[in-house]
Amino acid sequence: MSEEVKEVSKADYSADSIQVLEGLEAVRKRPSMYIGDTGFKGLHHLVYEVVDNSIDEALAGHCNNIDVKINEDNSITVRDNGRGIPTDFHAKEKKSALEVVMTVLHAGGKFDKDSYKVSGGLHGVGVSCVNALSTDLKVTVWRNGKTFQQEYQIGKPLYDVKEIGTTDDRGTQVQFKPDASIFTTTEYSFDTLSSRLRELAFLNKGIRLTITDLRDLDDDGKAKCVSFFSEGGLREFVEYLDATREKLIESPMYMEGEKQGIPVEVAMLYNNSYSENIHSYVNNINTHEGGTHLAGFRRGLTRTLKTYAEKSGMLAKVKFEIAGDDFREGLTAVISVKVQEPQFEGQTKTKLGNNEVMGAVDQAVSEMLSNYLEENPKQARIIVDKVILAATARHAARKAREMVQRKNVLTGTGLPGKLSDCSETDPSMCELYLVEGDSAGGTAKQGRNRAFQAILPLRGKILNVEKAMMYKIFENEEIKNMFTAMGVSIGTEEDSKQLNIAKLRYHKIIIMTDADIDGSHITTLILTFFFRYMKELIEQGYIYIATPPLYLVKRGKAERYCWTEDDRLNAIKDLGGEKESTVNIQRYKGLGEMNAEQLWTTTMNPEFRTLRQVTIDSAAEADRIFSMLMGDEVPPRREFIEANAKYAKIDA
């Protein structure tokens, strides 16, 4: 009898194991379906997936410390001080609960149905996915006075969960090494991970998140280490985002609480800039495409401010309609909601669809804002004055824009005269080079493949959109040319940030500037413009940066183009010119120093060029960096440039 039972259970066990392997095999076959992609983003997503489990444990009230380590071999260790993943025998699966969590897709939360689980990553696939995509993974659990461990290779356990000692500690640690046969890059970025941990610290006050980079040791052998902790939550987040902007009100408006059964946290500040910076999160995920929570926020804000302004009598002198956008000019806000069963919609699945959330956020914002306006009449006046100013400027902007559009109709094709267009008309095949200066523009025009490459030269410095009012931006010649060449319309008030991407004439827009400080400054200006007014183009992956070479190393007839110092040293070696006197090294400072053929060979020919695609890790961090780079305060800008600009070092 007992024999029989054993047989059955064995059979079941292996059937389960086969299912497990099929599950993990599916992840390895189509990793992008589970983690988005297998590049830089997907690689970092593995860490977020593991950290999210620890955040859940913290949100349940059992953990307040999460440590992330980038190890020397680019493996990752995440440790928390929670209750530890349960290790008891799981009756149905006939193995340790810990093994189930680590090897069964979506098994993560199923022991603890009552727990308030809302985190769990954009793809919410669980740690078993990370396991499947790692060559090696080791989990350690400190729980009930004992230490447990299990190791895996590409998701398969090497042994049953074992007890390896006694302990007074509590918690879970996962160490994993991403599989280099799956990921196109396996090198972790400290900045990308620390940005996300900082964001998580602001979004989940009271949790300490620490990152240590064991690849980066100082002279005393101490690893680079940063720790994030926020007591004030979103209040501190908006202050951090606006650190380099000039405030209009001293301290943020803030609320935290449950509205209509939904946990809502909101903070906002007004500054003297002309842009709107609202970041919204659902279950710690940045909802780039907005959704019902953002709609509720806007509705509550507009209605409450409008009512207050009307009652105050300040609108008596205003002769035109105030638009929704006017209430949000110079506004920095963060909205965070926790939703039990979020419905994500939109192209990148980052748009919240749950209708019940709209009313909850509307109510939260209305209450917060009307209390604030009642209690702070001086600040209330300042805000209403700013709204009126915004409305006035927008009124002027509309007139300017109408002029532009009328003129475009008159010039026939509507394309700018400076554009040398390509002959291909399928946008997915077409490239637009935005080139610094008329002279380099001329060279690019000669060097290009006119079938699919278009050239738009930009004259000198383009307008700093971070500091200019909107109507100035639409009057600016270079900016108008960019909009019209790309074929996207300038948009009207409410949808000014909603581009008509369907009409985009090129699917690669390539910024090509000199490889020097001025060039990188111009690149930053153009990127700021895209970020503020055409963010969707970046999000869709249409924006690229060209990389012209820095050197040409020559010896006799042999030539080598070089992009880095290492390239240059290798080229000298390869050409047999270690005594440098025999080789000629030409430093390219500008595009203008190359002739048309050289520019084509090195920078424009798709077969040989390297394009850097522009991506946004964190919208909040990008916002802060752009406002800092383009703003008035010099010291933070200098610090950032010294830490990041490779050209600054080369030229020094």
Write out the residues near ligand 0RA by the rule CB under 6 A: 53-54, 57, 80, 82-86, 111-112, 172
Cβ–Cβ < 8 Å for 527, 541? no
Give the active site residue among 289, 431, 436, 539. 436
Q: How far apart are the first and last CA of the chain?
A: 83
Whether residue 516 lies in the annotated active site: yes
In the bound state with ligand 0RA, the residue whose beta carbon lies nearer, of 174 and 611, is: 174
Q: What letter would DSSP give residue 259?
A: E
Instruction: Tokens 């919208």: give the residue.
Output: 619
Give the active site residue among 199, 265, 325, 514. 514
Closest by Cα among 546, 551, 501 to 523: 546
Tell me how far, at minimum, the Cβ of 541 lies from ligand 0RA, in Å.
33
Interatomic CA distance for residues 626 and 493, integer angstroms: 23
Strand partners, 457: 435
Q: 523 is written with which tokens?
A: 């690149």
In the bound state with ligand 0RA, the residue whose beta carbon lies nearer, of 88 and 374, is: 88
Tell me how far, at minimum, the Cβ of 175 lies from ligand 0RA, in Å.
13
Cβ–Cβ < 8 Å for 361, 259? yes
Whether residue 216 lies in the annotated active site: no
Interatomic CA distance for residues 180 and 154, integer angstroms: 11
Interatomic CA distance for residues 568 and 578, integer angstroms: 11
Q: 571 is written with which tokens?
A: 């080229």
In the bound state with ligand 0RA, the residue whose beta carbon lies nearer, of 53 and 603, is: 53
Whether residue 163 lies in the annotated active site: no
In the bound state with ligand 0RA, the residue whose beta carbon lies nearer, of 83 and 508, is: 83
Interatomic CA distance for residues 126 and 104, integer angstroms: 9
Tell me how far, at minimum, the Cβ of 212 lies from ligand 0RA, in Å.
18
Give the active site residue among 112, 518, 559, 567. 518
Give the active site residue among 345, 367, 424, 516. 516
Dihedral sign of CA atoms 123, 124, 127, 131 in order: negative
Tell me how far, at minimum, the Cβ of 258 lies from ligand 0RA, in Å.
24
Interatomic CA distance for residues 537 and 432, integer angstroms: 13
In the bound state with ligand 0RA, the residue whose beta carbon lies nearer, of 173 and 603, is: 173
User: 586-610 burial, b for 16+ CB within 10 Å, e for fewer?
Assistant: bebebbebbeeebbbbbbbeeeebe
Tell me how far, at minimum, the Cβ of 54 lies from ligand 0RA, in Å.
5
In the bound state with ligand 0RA, the residue whose beta carbon lies nearer, of 54 and 286, is: 54
Closest by Cα among 253, 238, 266, 260 to 336: 266
Tell me how far, at minimum, the Cβ of 86 lies from ligand 0RA, in Å.
5
In the bound state with ligand 0RA, the residue whose beta carbon lies nearer, of 175 and 453, is: 175
Whether residue 80 lies in the annotated active site: no
Residue 212 identity (one-letter amino acid): T
Tell me how far, at minimum, the Cβ of 203 lies from ligand 0RA, in Å.
18
Catalytic sites, residue numbers: 436, 514, 516, 518
